[in-house]
């Protein structure tokens, strides 16, 4: 599972880089258009917000594996190494469960958007395309926390 996640992580990093380039380019183009031609592209805000949500989840998933999220370690630091390993694994499992619920309810939301034919206002694209950031991103976070918990459990035992 960890090797598969390594592959997913590489793809996620490239998606993150690509979408940030797209966001910067369209926002720069919109600012230039507004100041030079006195006209604004209405779709840029909608596209930027959609990409921003995807980027947030991708970055959160990458940070989850590395243990980069904020946490209170006052209790963790006082535990023995064996208990720290167990707590790391437990934290990964519980966090994965939370993001699993988010992925499930995000899927239901996206399914509802598709069923009712909701369209985005500026681009006229199906709203489920933007809404799919939640279940896909939550699934990535779920995997990131699980893999991170397993790696922390194994790594601390090797030291």
What is the C-alpha to C-alpha distance for residues 94 and 49, in angstroms, rounded to an integer? 29
Residue 56 confidence (pLDDT): 95
Q: What is the Cα–Cα distance from 33 to 96, expressed in whole angstroms?
A: 44
Number of domains in the chain: 1
How much is the pTM?
0.84
Cα(128)–Cα(125) distance, rounded to whole angstroms?
9
CA–CA gap between residue 63 and residue 141 (Å, rounded): 9
The pLDDT of residue 107? 98
Please report the pLDDT score of residue 40 as a whole number: 83
Q: Which residues, at least 6 apart from 18, have a Cβ–Cβ distance to it below 8 Å?
A: none
Q: Which domain holds residue 21?
A: 2-158
Residue 70 pLDDT? 73
Looking at residue 40, the DSSP 8-state letter turns out to be: -
Instruction: Give which of 54, 40, 43 is closest to 124, Cα–Cα.
Output: 43
pLDDT string in tens for the chain (159-residue length): 678 888 999 999 999 999 999 999 999 999 999 999 888 888 888 999 999 999 999 999 999 988 888 777 888 899 999 999 999 999 999 999 999 999 999 999 999 999 999 999 888 999 999 999 999 999 999 999 999 999 989 984 454
Structure tokens at 38: 């006195």
| Inter-axis angle of helices 2-36 and 133-158, nearest 10 | 130
Which one, of 133, 1, 155, 139, lies nearest residue 66 by Cα? 155
Question: Which pLDDT score is estimated for 100?
Answer: 97
**What is the number of residues in the chain?**
159
């Amino acid at each position: 599972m960890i090797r598969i996640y390594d592959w997913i992580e590489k793809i996620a990093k490239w998606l993150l880089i690509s979408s940030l380039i797209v966001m910067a380019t369209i926002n720069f183009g919109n600012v230039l258009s507004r100041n030079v031609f006195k006209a604004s592209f209405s779709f840029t805000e909608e596209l930027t917000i959609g990409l921003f949500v995807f980027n947030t989840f991708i970055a959160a998933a990458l940070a989850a594996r590395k243990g980069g999220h904020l946490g209170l370690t006052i209790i963790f630091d006082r535990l023995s190494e064996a208990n720290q390993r167990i707590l790391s694994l437990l934290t990964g499992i519980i966090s994965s469960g939370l993001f699993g619920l988010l992925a499930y309810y995000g899927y239901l939301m996206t399914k509802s958007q598709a069923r009712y034919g909701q369209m985005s206002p500026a681009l006229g694209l199906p709203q489920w395309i933007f809404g799919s950031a939640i279940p896909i991103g939550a699934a990535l976070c779920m995997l990131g926390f699980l893999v991170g918990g397993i790696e922390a459990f194994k790594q601390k035992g090797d030291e």
